[in-house]
Amino acid sequence: MFGCISLPFCLQLAQIYSQPFAIVDLIMHKIFIDGEAGTTGLQIKGQLQALSTVELLQIDPSERKNADAKRVLMEQADLVILCLHDDAARQSVSMIDSMMGKKPKIIDASTAHRTHEDWVYGFPELGPDQEGKIREAQKVANPGCYATGAIALLRPLMNAGLLPIDLPLSLPSVSGYSGGGKAMIEAYEAGQAPLMDYYALGLEHKHIPEIVKFAGLKKRPLFVPSVGNFKQGMVVQLPLHMEQLPIGVTPQKIRDAYLSHYSSISNSFVKVLPKPTEMHFDATVLNNSNRLEIAVFDNLEKGHLVLMARLDNLGKGASGAAVQNLHLMLDLEPLKP
């Protein structure tokens, strides 16, 4: 039949041709980014364009404020990412809720739904069961950038009983100017902004409610954010007096609590650094990544501690977190730290 020149060769050919051909169906997930022209939207778009299993649905720039045009794309989407101001995000959610039949899943990068009971908080490292909650969720609220650093510092210590739940806390923090929106970015890049600027000095900030809720605090922290003259990067600090802590708490016990917490997460992007040997902490070293690092600095002679978290405010603090959550919600291959 094959004109075989040897029996072994004929047997090999027969075995090959007897095998059924494998048919692989490549599932394409349709994603619509509502607000893709902003800083976070552009970063998310850039990351998703590299995924072979994602099809981005894009709206004509002239139609971005046309609700009917957006609705048509949302009805086609498997998942919608909202990169909008709070009121606009609420309007888009209402539009999706009003759809008949199958509705797309939602990731909201605004502040609008972060403490809402019907939404899952999109910080997978919150606890060992949080990834599962995000996988099953229809609606996920992306955390705030400062809140990500603050909760990463606080939640493991609260869970371990190393911080009193009603302890008055301060969270001095600094971010690159890219988190401030178009006007701030233009001002800094034109050399028209301060080198260092403290803000929200009415002691109200939109990230405080989610910090209180998801860190497990009973007392509202004193949160003082600032903007430095660098584009990306962020540090959130938690200064402490040793005398404020339960007897027996040491810097190493704090590191061990962090290690125990984050090792319980199946795919954690949070790394706990060993005892520092250099007494400085660069806010920008994790730029363009989805990673977060925690360090514990101490002066036992003076009884002082400073716990610090650093991350990219546009990465783990925004677009990176959204893409991490998207992978979970669509059951894609997990991102690797």
Q: Contact at 8 Å (CB) between 307 and 255?
A: no
CA atoms within 13 A on the CB side of 161: 3
Q: How far apart are CA 158 and CA 212, in angstroms?
A: 12
| Residue 215 phi, psi (nearest 5) | -85, -20
Q: How far apart are CA 226 and CA 234, in angstroms?
A: 10
Q: Contact at 8 Å (CB) between 135 and 120?
A: no
> H-type helices in the chain, by residue range?
7-18, 39-48, 67-76, 86-97, 130-136, 145-159, 181-189, 208-215, 251-263, 320-329
Whether 10 sits among the annotated catalytic residues: the reply is: no
Return all residues near 198 (Cβ < 8 A) that are at least 6 apart. 224, 225, 226
> H-type helices in 194-238, by residue range?
208-215
Q: How far apart are CA 165 and CA 221, in angstroms?
A: 11
What does the block give as tokens for 294?
């925690």
H or E element in which residue 227 lies: strand 226-228
Catalytic residue among 4, 10, 83, 145: 145
Report the catalytic residues.
145
